[in-house]
Amino acid sequence: MGQGGDTVGGRFFDAAIGLLERVRDEEGESLAAAGELIADTVAEGGRLFAFGAGHSSLAAQDLVYRAGGLALMNLLAVPGAVGVDVLPATLGSALERVDGLATAVLDTSPLRAGDLLVVISLSGRNALPVEMASHARELGVKVIGVTSVAYAAQTSSRHSSGTFLKDHCDLVLDSKISVGDAELTLDTIPAPFAPASTVVTSAILQSVMATAAASLADRGIEPPLLRSGNVDGGLDWNDRVMREYGDRIFYLR
């Protein structure tokens, strides 16, 4: 095999870069609007939360307690559905299909009207993310959904309403990921492989958070950003931010 895009590894980079360019060019207005909505929430005293089940939780966790990120982003966790944190791992997938679980979690969570919740689900078809978004909005919470809209056209919903995540959001960010989340094929391998959803979804959300930080600065509000604890002065900086915004940071309790 040759170099760069002529290798299988290089082809994956090409595929991921292509998806990132599509999202940048086709979702630009939505990305900017999402950043403004997050900035609005911060400026108005609201709290920020992110939720994802299974591997979608990776992109949610990437926003929380992160150097260079907003200190106010909290992880909304559903026991058994955060990454692959249960045995057997298939139990986490089964929990995503359970009606009523999201409502129980939200009704016992700190979310309240005026807050914002980012719901991440690649397929957007399972009961957990659909119900999470719909019930959050019933509570007066703004919802940003990050999903692949293609699934709604090519698969059926697994929620009793027959709807998808995209149907219950104030803003939808389309990751453009193909159904099945595998970017590569080879004649010698019987199944498609090399998923790119984590790369793309994390990039989408970091773009949104960057927009939110810049928007807050434009309004004369210092964005409550964290610094790396591994640079001189970083820990003191973070202590100040956490004291100032402690009532909106739930991962400290």
**40-84 pLDDT per residue, tens:** 999 999 999 999 999 999 999 999 999 999 999 999 999 999 888
**Nearest-angstrom CA–CA distance, 124 and 130:** 7
Q: Other CB atoms closer than 10 Å to residue 132's CB: what's the count? A: 29
Q: What is the pTM of this model?
A: 0.95
For the chain, residues with pLDDT lower than 50 are 1-2
**Nearest-angstrom CA–CA distance, 67 and 149:** 30
Instruction: Write out pLDDT tens, residues 129-155.
Output: 999 999 999 999 999 999 999 999 999
- Buried b or exposed e, range 163-174, using 16+ CB within 10 angstroms: bbbbbbbbbbbb
Dig out the tokens for 205 from the structure. Answer: 């959300």
Domains annotated on the chain, with CATH: 28-248 (3.40.50.10490)
